[in-house]
Structure 1
Amino acid sequence: MTLPPLPSIIIEPIVRIALLEDLGRAGDLTSDAIIPLDADASMTLVARQFGIIAGLDVAALAFRLIDPAIRLEVHRTNGDAVTAGETIATVSGSARGLLTAERTALNFLCHLSGIATATATLVRAVRGHKSRIVCTRKTTPGLRALEKHAVRAGGGSNHRFGLDDAILIKDNHIAITGGVAAAVERARAHASHVVKIEIEVDTLDQLEEVLTFGVDAVLLDNMSLNDLARAVRMVAGRAITEASGGINAETAAAIAATGVDLISVGWITHSAPILDIGLDFIAGR
């Protein structure tokens, strides 16, 4: 199924801030100085390496906010795989507008495509198992909606978007509250009927205690493969199981083989390398 784009009302404020950061107080001095006002140009967005595309709609908006007359012809879309040298899209219109928006558009497109590519690598690694790759709240401030959308473009799934859409009780919550029982009891009394409760555990003993309270999900943090497999057997379908910690393309398959439902990975949003994409001028147009 094609991944629908995020609504413009979500992405436009983010892109506007990025453009204003680049334009500063005087606009694009270089392009304004040397590019004729009436000059038009066509350029291609070209992948420099294999990867998965994400953020194309964000890049397109960066061009349109600079000049609404700029046209973008899409050849590949979000979620598509591209190879080195493959054209992703063609943009045409005011040469000044294209050059002014270029860096902001590429910053978004390269970063988000890098997230999608990293996610896809992990999704491929766990293929054949029921585990889903999910992202976390370890996102770039201000870019969470875009980065989580990029995870979906790479075939992954989203964990909670913020502090307001689920209850996740972690070690510090338990320590301050005074124990698992008190934390879960207060959470259940506070939550509405549509809010799920998840709790983090580090040991099988903690898991055994947690299971007596009937939570919706358990976060199995930094457990060994043997303990993860034992934890899945202990839960026996009574809650969603989520593994976290030490997950990469080399370890993901073995973690998935333990039978966990979810594998949550922070680095796919906060540390994924960019996908190298360039904007190349088409001579003679």
Structure 2
Amino acid sequence: MTAKISGFNDSNIRISTQELLQQIYVALDKGETDFEILSSGHHDIGGPFWSVEGKPLKFRVKNPGQRVGAFGLAGNQIIVEGSTPADAGWLNAGAELIIKGDSGDTTAHCAASGKIFVAGQVGTRSGSLMKHDPAFPAPELWVLKNTGSFSFEFMGGGTAIVCGIDCEERDSVLGERSCMGMVGGTVYVRGPVRNLPDEVWMLDLNAADIDFLSAGLPVFLKNIERDKYLEQLTDFSQWQKVTAKSDEERRLRHSMRPTMREFRLNTWVADGGIFGG
């Protein structure tokens, strides 16, 4: 049986986020595991909830507010019928979050495990600070269209897949200054990319990459109800991947920088001084 939770009272007036979450906790205490939630911008839906018996939980949500699926736990599934604002899947710890529309800024920010599927685009700084503890499955962020700027900055682990659907007119499907400070993980990308930092490589796919995408793309597209794109997305000649340079490679690059004295003498004050000739 599905527990139906409404973000409105009997007078059709919006209740607070606290009141809505309390309704969920009461239903959990009664043993409910399947939820249908009509929200009106309420925060933190589908996050760190669990059943006493350890059963998986399923949330179907309309009109959520920030942090839907934040701190999501392994075994739980959150399905959003439409788009989400900021922080969807923030600090995801293992849940499956399916967003059947666009997702706002900082989607999957700090995600440590679980899978996030987005049927549209994601906002700025999405995927930033994704990380991977080898004791748990790595986090995955699947995006049908494109990301906003500063995506995947300081990424330390996990995998992101940006499919670039309907992005032919964009200069970069990763926005501007993506992958700044990236030290780990992999970003698979289809479509134009520009302004990547020197700390990363843009590489062609190998056989293992193709196997990963071949297995994951049908699951992703089925979850977001976009199966029609499978043939288009499995032309792997259109894909590349972004990976971080190793510590040794980064050290080599930094060792080639001029010293402060060399910069001052040869660049800053050369040819007429700092104010020109």
Q: What range is the shorter-chain TM-score in?
A: under 0.3
Per the normalisation by structure 2, the TM-score is 0.27
Structure that is richer in helix per residue: 1
Greater relative contact order (Cα 8 A, min sep 6): structure 1 or 2? 1
